[in-house]
Amino acid sequence: MPHTYWNNIVSTPGSSAGMGQSNQIVDHASNLLQATIDRFGLILPSAVLALLILGFIYHDRLVFSPGKRSGIYDIPGGLPLIGHTHQIMKFGTTNQFHRFQELALMSPTQCYRLTFAGVGSMIMINRPEYIEYVQKTNFENYPKGFQFRDKLGDLLGHDGIFVADGDVWKTQRKMASHMFSANQFNNWVRVVVHNELNTIDTILDKVASQKRFSIQGLDGTTSGMSDAKGGMVNMTELFFRYTLSSFAKMAFGSDLGCLTEDPASLENPHPFAVAFDFSQGVMNKRFVNPFWRILEAITPEGARMRSSIKLIRNFGTAIIKQRLVEAGIKIDGIDLNEKSEFSQEHKDLLALFMEQTQDPEALLTVVLNFMIAGRDTTAQTLSWLLYELCANPEHVKLIREEVDRVLGPDAAEQRVRVNYTDFKKFPYTLACFHEAARLHPSVPKNGKEILRDDVIVPQGPNPHNLPPIKVYAKERVGWSDWVMNRLPEVWGEDADQFNPKRFLEKDEKGGWSYVQQSQWKFHVFNAGPRLCLGMNLAGFEGVSFLAAMLQKYDFTWASKQQGQTSDWPPMYANSVTHPMKDSYQCIITPRNYNE
């Protein structure tokens, strides 16, 4: 055996040579310690000692995060003091929900814990039974908390409805609820949406009546030269413009001019939308990178983020200034004599808030928070829905049958539209919209802070015997609707399939009736006191669009040769909401009644 330093230390106990060596080492060590103390005082050695002790205690998790406990599966691979920080940073935001799903499937209850720098100890509770406790039973103990304001505050403000808690949130919610409950607003919504649908109809009409060169099916076969008519439309862009334009009109009385009758206007994305989408992608990264502030200060991405926020804020400020001026409130540098087409006649969202404050900064927060709520969510759901209908065309037939029956077979041709209060008369169409929202939830992940130590007790029947979970103050709870909605334990064996019939049953007359699911199971609109305020508005916009367009046009997924820019199936982009990674195109043709 070679004569090593280690051999010397552990050499036969009592051997004088060995004893001599170990004495030397002890001497060395104490000399070194003495020298360090002489130079640095007690600080450095104490720090090293403290680090060693902490590393021993927190050998697999983030320093100062609470220990293991029953009912929560701790994801393996945590390192001393930093926990899963390295893993989370490595994951980044690529295929984020697939990663969450992999982690959930490692746990017997699909609930698990990660500890990582920047966020702390995060307990994922991907089950309706637990979410109900957090969002309703002990609601006050689980605010949105600092994390949301820290990561989203520079865009959405610190008092916006999405990030606020306590009295600030209550005031915002109360005021906004007035808008949604007022009859006047419902009428106004109907007028706006019908006008926007007429514009879209004109666009699609122009495109569908172009003479077509050739059409290529999804299977790649080309039908060759054709006298048939049709053309291609960027549908994701169309949906974003539809919801942005209509929401700005109904909530802020502002015509943004982003939806015109010219199909060519859809070719380039709207600058506001580009900036908004980009900044949401960056905000998403902040949740997985504890060094985001430093990175954003020095990287081109950070610079672009700052200029995007500036653009978005200018855009919102313009809306507000116009309204303040119209209300007779003086704003420097603005001279508007004309009133906008929409303002004053209706008490829209902005008018309600302006009764409370005329501070442009506070109003900007309102505008931007509601813009994200009103534009992105519904447009994204519609994009995913139309893709699902291209993939599962058997549902188009049933939607058309329903629209023919309720509105009459010529409704779309005569521009007879669905009424705001009537959209529930279209159970099949609504079920398709909700099924797309279930599989592709617009808020795919969410979370709350924990104020005080607590035990999360599963609510409701608890068929899977989920255990109660002990949680501690300053930890966070989180969930992913994207993951939860794919769990067979929650939605059955076909959970990952597009199946609108899970929201339907046959009534006594043989027609479809809509089956209301519990808010906790069908959780995509959130639940409890913070239930989405725009749920009905979104349903109305979705059903109205399908009724108006599917009765009149055929939509076929364009092939790559035709200029398709998306993969099939489309990928999602990692963001705080749930957009597609690339926009997609459909070939629009007049409806073929022979099919």
β-bridge mates for residue 555, sequence order: 588
- Helix crossing, 427-439 with 377-391: angle to 10°? 100
In the bound state with ligand HEM, the residue whose beta carbon lies nearer, of 374 and 500, is 374
Whole-number Å distance between alpha carbons of 174 and 587? 44
* Residue 74 vs 196, nearer CB to ligand HEM: 196
CB of 58 to ligand HEM, least distance (A): 31
Alpha helix (H) residue ranges in 372-498: 377-391, 394-407, 427-439, 481-484, 488-491
Closer to ligand HEM at the Cβ: 81 or 436? Answer: 436
Kindly state the smallest distance separating residue 447's Cβ from ligand HEM, in Å. Answer: 9
Residue position matching structure tokens 């009534």: 507
- Closest-by-Cβ residue to ligand HEM is 534
Q: Quick one: 83 or 534, whose CB is closer to ligand HEM?
A: 534
For ligand HEM, the closer CB: 247 or 315: 247
C-beta of 139: minimal distance to ligand HEM in Å? 11
Tokens 């406990």 appear where?
69
Residue 205 CB, nearest approach to ligand HEM (Å): 26
Q: Looking at the DSSP assignment, which residues form a beta bridge with residue 446?
A: 479
Q: How far is the CB of 381 from ligand HEM (least distance, A)?
A: 4
Residue 249's alpha-carbon distances to 253, 261, 302, 356, in angstroms, are 4, 17, 32, 21
Which are the contacts of 501, defined by CB distance < 8 A and separation ≥ 6?
Answer: 431
CB of 164 to ligand HEM, least distance (A): 8
**At its nearest, how many Å lie between ligand HEM and the CB of residue 364?**
16
Q: Which lies closer to ligand HEM via its Cβ, residue 255 or residue 507?
A: 255
Burial of 530 (0-12, 13-18, 19+ CB in 10 A): middle
Q: Is 111 annotated as a binding residue?
A: no
Q: Is 202 exposed, middle or buried (0-12, 13-18, 19+ CB in 10 A)?
A: middle
Cβ closest to ligand HEM, residue 533 vs residue 550: 533
Type of residue numbered 346:
H
CA gap 19, 11 in Å, rounded: 8
**Shortest distance, position 418 Cβ to ligand HEM, whole Å:** 16
Q: Which of 533, 496, 563, 512 is nearest to 185 (CA)?
A: 533
Assess contact for 488 and 495: CB atoms under 8 A. Answer: yes
- In the complex with ligand HEM, which residue's Cβ is closer, 295 or 532? 532
d(CA 412, CA 201): 9
| Site residues (vs ligand HEM, CB under 6 A) | 161-162, 173, 176, 370, 373-374, 377-378, 381, 437, 442-443, 446, 524-526, 530, 532-534, 537-538
Give me the DSSP letters along 109-177. Answer: TSEEEEEETTTEEEEEE-SHHHHHIIIIITGGG----HHHHHHHHHHH-SSSTTT--HHHHHHHHHHHH
CA 46 to chain centre: 46
Binding site members: 532
Binding site members for heme: 532
